[in-house]
Structure 1
Amino acid sequence: MSPFFVTTFLLGLSSLATAANFTQVYAWPNELDYEWPSEASRAQALEYGTYDPAKIYPRYMAVHGSRIFLSLKESISIPVTLVSLPTSSASSAPPKLTPFPSWDMHRKVLGNCSKIQEAEGLEVDSVGRLWLLDQGSSVSNCYAKLWIFDLNNNETELIHRFSFHDYLHDLVIDETANGTFAYIARWVEKHIVVFSLERNESWIVNTPGIVVLSIALSPKGHEARQLYLSNLNYKQLHLISASTLRDGNGTANLMGNWSVRDTYQMLMDNHGTLYSGFMYQNYASTWNTSRPFLEQRFYQVAGLRSSWPFTFSLDQNETFWMTVFDDENMPRFRLLKAAVGAKSYIYEDSPESRE
């Protein structure tokens, strides 16, 4: 690496690190907790070992209106893996997590595959539907599912059952003139799963040599849409045409290399800025995809210790939402927000806001 590149890179990191002015919305000093039906039900779950508040960890986030949706890391001691909380509260106390869409939708019974088994990636589309990946359960022989909920009434609009279980990771939504599609990443697999809403069908597109970890979709309305792929155990960032994925094929091209490996989450805004979080790192980075690849540090927490430190999402009001999890320092959980002048990639960019 040339000295010139190193200098440019470090200047980029320092200049962008203060670009977003984050404010704290909530802080949970020790542990998160649910909004239980009763204190008796909570006490019983603690006694039976089906609930351990120390095992609640946010994984993915989506924001719609006045609600934030979180999927939680699955554990035998976690009764609910999909929850919501308000974007603001009149109380100074941090809110408890409300099971979504209800407690009953999470009451697991061996062999009953009609419940949410294990929530993973989630996204809200432009018409207010929450899309959720559900790992299923190999123990109960429940195949993985894609749930779609109408957030206007919290009703289930569609359940798509896949022909496999496990390894679902994250998804992005592509709303086109020819229909709405989801592109889905799976842990340790060398393929992308494509789902068509109108046909209620899914298919697999292989990505030879690329074990997909996280994905992001280029903004609507800029150019032909592209899917960005991070490579598990590597620093590589690849690109593949969304239209070829819809046709059942495609070739991925290398775009650049992040400074560290294992990008567990990526997010695109509607101006073309790509945000990335890395396992075991105390910072998140960005890249302006309209320019040659250059990683810039977006947010950093000194002394942060966590395998999955950040979870983030953009809403339609140009607010960037982020949870920060620290496994060693207090508070353990924080919810932050910042006005960034950009919406989610779901929404089309207006010409006057572009550079």
Structure 2
Amino acid sequence: MDQIQGMRIFVRVVEAGTFTRAADSLGLPKGTVTKQIQALEARLRVKLLNRTTRRVTVTPDGAAYYERTARLLNDFDDIEASMTNAQANPTGRLRIDVGSSMARLVILPALQTFCDQYPDIQVDVGVSDRTVDLITDNVDCVIRGGDLTDQSLVARRIGNLPWMTVASPAYIKRYGIPQHPTDIEKRHLVVGFFSGSTRRVYPHEFHRGDEQLEITGPYRVSVNDSNAHMTAVLGGYGLSQVITYMAEPYIESGELVQILKDWTRPPLPVHVVYPPNRHLSAKVRAFVDWAAELFAKHPQLQRTPTAPAPALASAPAPTAMPA
């Protein structure tokens, strides 16, 4: 068992990139992690890791050992699960990451049903609109809206979020209503939404028949969080495109007004994404199935996509403002 524990600690250090992050994710003292790695290298008589004050890198021998060890541990976990009742009663700590508005409006209000169904799963919910590195951050799965690029991960499409263009009554009183998307660039302001990693401001998209426009528009305020974005729109800082399910309560209360109704924007696809080495994890599978069922029960989260969704895809790299 000590040998298996040493392997697990080594794999976590490689994936986390530092001893400190590995120790935190494993719930162990940093000194214990360091001693385990030293003992492993002494037993194998090879140097597995190069250590610096900031980061740990893998030696060629360490890379070869990691590849075989990670696969072996995954097979070991699968064997353990198949010989127990883990498939029927998943257990353990489940780390998920969800965009801020989706967590507040969709996931957290319904999560109690998941906890009731799987009482032996402890759920850690990371809430942010940043792109998460599932391996480095030791996250089991993420729910994100946007296009997919990295084919090394597995994704399941669970929803499609329609958009609407809105403005507050205070903004309309001051600036009026644009009659065409190009009016936005001439005499209006938008609330910008920028990528937390690249700082790029996402454009607004307008489709009508064969016409397709991308409008960035001038802004005085730009944010990188979906809840902050909605607050800024409500505050009259500018008009913007927002996810329909987020805007509808404010439309009904009169705090927002839908504008440019004859122009649409393609729905934002939503995926659950997880690493391939956790594909057979009972707790991840349980959460993915629960999330898919949750979205299926919300008609406003299931607008028909413009193109078929791929069966396998990647970690989300949104090309539109995240949900």
TM-score (norm 2): 0.24
TM-score (norm 1): 0.23
Structure number with greater CO (CA < 8 Å, separation at least 6) is: 2
Larger strand proportion of the pair: 1
Larger helix proportion of the pair: 2
The structure whose Rg is larger is: 2
